[in-house]
Amino acid sequence: MATKKPSAQSAKPSADRPVDDRRGHGDELQQMAGGRHPSLTTNQGVPLSDNQNSLRTSPRGPTLLEDFVLREKITHFDHERIPERIVHARGSAAHGYFELTKSLKKYTTAKILTEVGEKTPLFTRISTVAGGAGSIDTPRDIRGFAVKFYTKEGNWDLVGNNIPVFFIQDAMKFPDLVHAVKMEPDRGFPQAASAHDTFWDFISLTPEAMHVIMWAMSDRAIPRSLRMIEGFGIHSFRLVNENGDSTFVKFHWRPKLGLQSHVWDEAVKVAGADPDYHRRDLFEAIQAGNFPEWELAVQLFTQAQADGFPFDHLDATKIIPEELVPLTVIGRMVLNRWPDNFFAETEQVAFCPSHVPPGIDFSNDPLLQGRLFSYLDTQLSRLGSPNFHQLPINAPKCPFVNQQRDGHMQMEVPKGRVNYEPSSLDPASARATNTGFRSFAEPAGDGSKGRIRAESFADHYSQARQFYRSQTGFEQAHIASAFVFELSKVETLHVREAMIGHLRNVDEDLAHRVADGLALPSFPPAQSKAVPAKDQPMSPPLQIIGKMKDTLKGRAVGILIHDGSDAAAIRAVRKAAESAGASVKIVCLKVGGAKLSDGKQQSADGQLAGTPSVVFDAVALVLSDDAGKLLAKEAAAVDFVRDAFGHLKAIAADAGAQAVLKAGGIRKDAGVVDASDTAGFIKAAKTRQWAREAKLRTLA
Ligand code: HDD
């Protein structure tokens, strides 16, 4: 599929951004937001005659304090930053919609889940956790997956991650977890990395983290694209129907493009080649009309079923295996519009798990309960005012009214004298109704007050083992190697040893592989455990390889060319790749392009040194003999093929390109094909050449 060039966004008001007349001067506000005034003005609307020179006593004299234009411009600039999110500071977002395809009327009154065909506007922000707002897109990290549905009954924020379990069981431990993973406080590094002592020290002393840590060391934590990750609401929530009956629910997002991840060396190199790789990938896909899409699926279960599970579903370190409670697909999410303004939308969007419409309710998961407090609280310091809900990106798209008033940056102009309830003075003032939000009437108070962890939360290893043993051999090797990499960055020997002690409780073979990879002086003893791991049935949906789709849709192919390249061969590779759904970019030594065999000039989409093969899923080299000899001496060209090969990608090369393959030490295999064999190339490009890996590097 050909990609359209990204274009500037229209600033015109749209159906999504109706004029807000509650403020009493809607049109003027739109005018401000759209910047449609014919000439530059100050913030007070005073037209400017000069926005480039400050007011001086004489051409070379001092600047005057009187200069309100200068003062306003600089003062505003000085205050342009707000505190970044304490976690999930780095994120990318897009507008879109949710369409319900299967009604859950039996289980809930929430209209967004009962009205089939209804399209609900939404805003989705996907983030890394540990790094700052300016950090790289591709560290090993969990990805946040936060969706704000603007439902007709108020906003619903489903604030999840791309991994279905969490590090801790109680919100009380969250500040410690985050302090431990963020850069160390005395030295200010490492940025956006878990591979350091404080993180692993904390993890080694937190057995409940062993399940999530298996996921975090898997390739799920180094995704190829934000369009190719799953999302999970993680906690059990409740659905409540019109009779007040409750059913537990877990939410799952499943990407239409399937799952795909980087290999570790690739993720590291992408970080250098394009620190904004995931943001750019999402932007380019949306601008080209290749809208990313996810299915929303649910796992529904009753209290009676939950009582029979071999784990506690209120424990956020546990999944409910799909084999136990199958997934039901109920709708789809499409992201189809990039925000107009990064700060106003992506930065100012404020998600709170406590934002739910009637018919959706919380469970007693102690992690969720703490979150219900934390998010509202953090918005107050991040956005500076209890009126943050009035910002356009946060405001519900349904009417909202109550007697809350005033506060910093109040942007509404409430009318009338009644700002309290009850009141007889204004009979028309809004009242609470029977159909409003009701908490599920759960019987409570079955024990005595205390800082207690339920015994049913004590099994920390069974699901960690189930996850590891459910992986393919390739994936297990990647997990073991990730542990070796991370723990190699840990300077404290006893922390490394403690982690091996935990891995012994998960899987002895894994523990040996990691201990060997670290060359530990001796094999550490197993950690003591409250509950020994119990073998669980294998669960293939836990794999990534099993969920990779045999497709080029949404993927990218790079074609390296030079002067004299065969024009027909380039056309053939491009056509085959585009027909299979890939986007194609031409890479050249110089950005001006190359003169092809037919005498025509071919422009380039990227210069070779700045467009390495890590930004593609497969590469083709179409080169004349002379060009092949020339590029065989060009490090960037040799790295282009060496990395593509090392990252298990398909390579198509014509006769001229063989010199570059030779210089890169490329050995022929099923994924290295002749450029004329376009069908063979496309077949190989749809997957990774897993069998190649063992010949390339020593995995733990
Ligand atoms: Fe959190 C942000 C996801 C536990 C406290 N969290 C934040 C975001 C995501 C998550 C996706 C970014 C939202 C955005 O894009 O603006 N957090 C999770 C998940 C958790 C979780 C899936 C466990 C299942 N979080 C969690 C706990 C606490 C917090 C236990 C505190 C007790 N999280 C926050 C926060 C943040 C946040 C400090 C930072 C910025 C923000 O809220 O708006 O309040």
pLDDT in tens, 638-686: 999 999 999 999 999 999 999 999 999 999 999 999 999 999 999 999 9
d(CA 200, CA 195): 8
d(CA 125, CA 114): 25
In this structure, the residue with its CA closest to atom 40 of ligand 1 is: 85
How confident is the model at residue 142, as a pLDDT?
98
How confident is the model at residue 12, as a pLDDT?
37
User: Is 87's C-beta closer than 6 angstroms to any atom of ligand 1?
Assistant: yes
Beta bridge partners of 584: 557
> Catalytic residue at 88?
yes
Mean pLDDT value across residues 136-146: 98
Mean pLDDT value across residues 305-333: 98
Atom of ligand 1 nearest to the CA of 144: 11
Q: What is the CA radius of gyration of the chain?
A: 28
The CATH class of the 91-390 domain is: mainly beta
pLDDT in tens, 341-360: 999 999 999 999 999 999 99
Residues 6+ apart with CB under 8 A from 350: 375, 379, 382, 383, 388, 389, 391, 394
Question: How far apart, in Å, do the first and last CA atoms of the chain sit?
Answer: 39
User: Is 664's C-beta closer than 6 angstroms to any atom of ligand 1?
Assistant: no
Atom of ligand 1 nearest to the CA of 125: 15
CB 255 within 8 A of CB 220: no
In this structure, the residue with its CA closest to atom 37 of ligand 1 is: 87
> Catalytic residue at 364?
no
- Flag whether pLDDT at 432 surpasses 70: yes
Q: How would residue 11 be classed by pLDDT, with cut points 50, 70 and 90?
A: very low
Residue 319 Cα to ligand 1 midpoint, Å, equals 19
Q: How would residue 407 be classed by pLDDT, with cut points 50, 70 and 90?
A: very high
Mean pLDDT value across residues 570-586: 98
Looking up tokens 């007709």 gives: 152
- Flag whether pLDDT at 28 surpasses 50: no
- Flag whether pLDDT at 637 surpasses 90: yes
317 DSSP 8-state letter: T
Q: Which CATH architecture has domain 556-695?
A: 3-Layer(aba) Sandwich (3.40)
d(CA 124, CA 293): 12
Residue 149 Cα to ligand 1 midpoint, Å, equals 17
User: Is 171's C-beta closer than 6 angstroms to any atom of ligand 1?
Assistant: yes
How confident is the model at residue 19, as a pLDDT?
35
Give the residue, out of 230, 235, 375, with the most ligand 1 atoms within 8 A of its beta carbon, to mutate for a pocket test: 375
Residue 34 Cα to ligand 1 midpoint, Å, equals 32
CATH of 459-542, one of 3.10.50.40, 3.40.50.10190, 1.10.10.10, 1.20.1370.20: 1.20.1370.20
In this structure, the residue with its CA closest to atom 3 of ligand 1 is: 160
The pair phi, psi for residue 252, each rounded to 5°, is -130, 130
- Flag whether pLDDT at 592 surpasses 90: yes
Mean pLDDT value across residues 373-379: 97
User: Is 166's C-beta closer than 6 angstroms to any atom of ligand 1?
Assistant: yes
In this structure, the residue with its CA closest to atom 28 of ligand 1 is: 371
Residue 520 gets the label, from left (phi > 0), alpha (psi -120 to 50) or beta, of beta
Atom of ligand 1 nearest to the CA of 89: 40
Mean pLDDT value across residues 529-533: 90
Mean pLDDT value across residues 512-521: 97
Atom of ligand 1 nearest to the CA of 378: 44
How confident is the model at residue 16, as a pLDDT?
40
- Flag whether pLDDT at 25 surpasses 70: no
Question: Which of 658, 687, 689 has the alpha carbon at shortest distance from 674?
Answer: 658
Residue 357 Cα to ligand 1 midpoint, Å, equals 19
Q: Give the pairing type, strands 91-100 and 328-337.
A: antiparallel
Domain ranges of the chain: 91-390, 459-542, 556-695
Q: Which helix (H) or strand (E) holds 214?
A: helix 210-216
Q: How would residue 23 be classed by pLDDT, with cut points 50, 70 and 90?
A: very low
Q: What is the 3-state secondary structure (H, E, C) of 411-466?
A: CCCCCCCCCCCCCCCCCCCCCCCCCCCCCCCCCCCCCCCCCCCCHHHCCCCHHHHH
Mean pLDDT value across residues 587-593: 97
Residue 87 Cα to ligand 1 midpoint, Å, equals 7
The pair phi, psi for residue 72, each rounded to 5°, is -65, -45
User: Is 231's C-beta closer than 6 angstroms to any atom of ligand 1?
Assistant: no
pLDDT in tens, 230-248: 999 999 999 999 999 999 9
How confident is the model at residue 37, as a pLDDT?
63
Higher-pLDDT residue of 19 and 497 is 497
Residue 166 Cα to ligand 1 midpoint, Å, equals 11
**Side-chain half-sphere exposure of 540, counting CA atoms within 13 A:** 4
**Side-chain half-sphere exposure of 238, counting CA atoms within 13 A:** 21
- Flag whether pLDDT at 22 surpasses 70: no
Mean pLDDT value across residues 100-116: 98
User: Is 108's C-beta closer than 6 angstroms to any atom of ligand 1?
Assistant: no
pLDDT in tens, 389-402: 999 999 999 999 99
d(CA 559, CA 588): 9
DSSP SS3 for 123: strand
How confident is the model at residue 36, as a pLDDT?
62
Mean pLDDT value across residues 581-604: 97
User: Is 159's C-beta closer than 6 angstroms to any atom of ligand 1?
Assistant: yes
d(CA 243, CA 107): 9
Beta bridge partners of 331: 100, 296
User: Is 376's C-beta closer than 6 angstroms to any atom of ligand 1?
Assistant: no
Atom of ligand 1 nearest to the CA of 234: 24
User: ipTM exceeding 0.90?
Assistant: yes
Mean pLDDT value across residues 14-22: 37
How confident is the model at residue 555, as a pLDDT?
97
pLDDT in tens, 36-86: 667 999 999 999 999 999 999 999 999 999 999 999 999 999 999 999 999
How confident is the model at residue 48, as a pLDDT?
97
d(CA 518, CA 511): 11
Residue 531 Cα to ligand 1 midpoint, Å, equals 29
Higher-pLDDT residue of 667 and 428 is 667
Atom of ligand 1 nearest to the CA of 146: 11
Annotated active-site residue in 95, 155, 161, 290: 161
User: Is 88's C-beta closer than 6 angstroms to any atom of ligand 1?
Assistant: yes
pLDDT in tens, 467-489: 999 999 999 999 999 999 999 99
User: Is 144's C-beta closer than 6 angstroms to any atom of ligand 1?
Assistant: yes
**Average model confidence (pLDDT) for the chain?**
94
- Find out whether the peptide bond into 190 is cis, omega within 30 degrees of 0: yes
